[in-house]
Homo-oligomer: A and B are copies of this chain.
């Protein structure tokens, strides 16, 4: 067990121990937002055949090589083909076949002339300009070549990818299973919203916010509820969580006070503690343990600290278990938009709103930064990473931010 590790060490320790969960086959619509567990190869060319990109006439380019506005070339239209149908005849000397957008190019033709560029009377069609061989033909395989990997393992199934996979005739795709997470909050002071608030009590926000965060990630969540600050109760419920979940997340009981019994509960369960304490504010009294290849991620009971350490420590682990190829939040430079008066003897993460503009990126602080203050997390999409030993910070200074939410309103 390591004590007071750096955030990056906590992340690395967990990631090095984690493998993606199992995989399954899902119908395409059910796979939206899931993560591919295998590379997807194209079983045939896209388009599967040479096709026309427009409504027009399929011709032999050499037949109209001499066409001009003054000396149009006349061809006989021998057939009309709708999209989804194929020509029964070939294009031979001095003939043309009418094709629609998406129609397979009839045999014998090597170019298409746009509908609007010809004049037609009955079966006779006048062409007023030449065309290169291959003109207005989309060759088979232009979009995707047979055998090409169109999406790699670890890719999230997006709408465009669903379209591409469907175009290749797949009805199902291999994706990783949902990661199973159990969430537990601890604390005698917490009550749920069905109860009246007695003096000294507060409503439980950790369980709902972490369940919501896990749901947003697309995991399968079990909310195991709140337990009092008692060793037996906490050990039992963590054990219950480990029976089914890949990851158990707890809040509270990890500090060094008289009622902080979560570490004792982990010891009783025989879990290997990976680290105890992370060198950051908020959220420093964080603990992680492993038991039989499963993880127990124990977060501070302060609501903001819990969500911030969830984002920085648990989310990368969850994303690796989900099978994603990229786990860590993006890091960028920015100008700080506000003053922050407090010194930071310890490394500190400030809640902010990151904005991209031309030339200069800016991060505005979102309000009170106390360990318990949730309000400043509501509009937060980035954490300002303030190095240990920093003094007062002033608007306009350069800072480093981690992107943890939506920047462009999407």
**Contact: A212 with B29, CB < 8 Å?**
yes
CB neighbors of B among A394-410 (8 A): 403-410
**Contact: A307 with B82, CB < 8 Å?**
no
| Residues in B neighbouring A162, C-beta threshold 8 A | 205, 208-209, 211-212
**Contact: B374 with A202, CB < 8 Å?**
no
CB neighbors of B among A274-325 (8 A): 301-303, 307
A210 at the interface (CB under 8 A from B): yes
**Contact: A211 with B29, CB < 8 Å?**
yes
CB-based nearest B residue for A85 = B200
| Residues in B neighbouring A302, C-beta threshold 8 A | 101
Q: What does the 1/0 interface line of A165-206 toward B look like (CB < 8 Å)?
A: 111111100000000000000011110111001011111111
A104-B200, A258-B100, A368-B142 as given contacts; A167 in contact with B326, CB under 8 Å: no
**Contact: B215 with A83, CB < 8 Å?**
no
A91 at the interface (CB under 8 A from B): no
Scoring A49, A115, A201, A368 by chain B CB atoms within 10 A of each residue's CB, the highest score goes to: A201
A370 at the interface (CB under 8 A from B): yes
A359 at the interface (CB under 8 A from B): yes
CB distance from A103 to the nearest CB of B (A): 7
CB distance from A200 to the nearest CB of B (A): 4
**Contact: B160 with A378, CB < 8 Å?**
yes
A159-B307, A193-B166 as given contacts; A216 in contact with B33, CB under 8 Å: yes
CB neighbors of B among A70-90 (8 A): 81-86
CB distance from A204 to the nearest CB of B (A): 7
A391 at the interface (CB under 8 A from B): no
**Contact: B374 with A163, CB < 8 Å?**
yes
**Contact: A53 with B208, CB < 8 Å?**
no
Q: What does the 1/0 interface line of A40-69 toward B look like (CB < 8 Å)?
A: 000010011100010100000000000000
**Contact: A193 with B170, CB < 8 Å?**
yes
A213 at the interface (CB under 8 A from B): yes
8 A-B pairs closest in CB distance? A163-B209, A84-B189, A84-B188, A160-B377, A159-B213, A86-B200, A162-B212, A166-B208
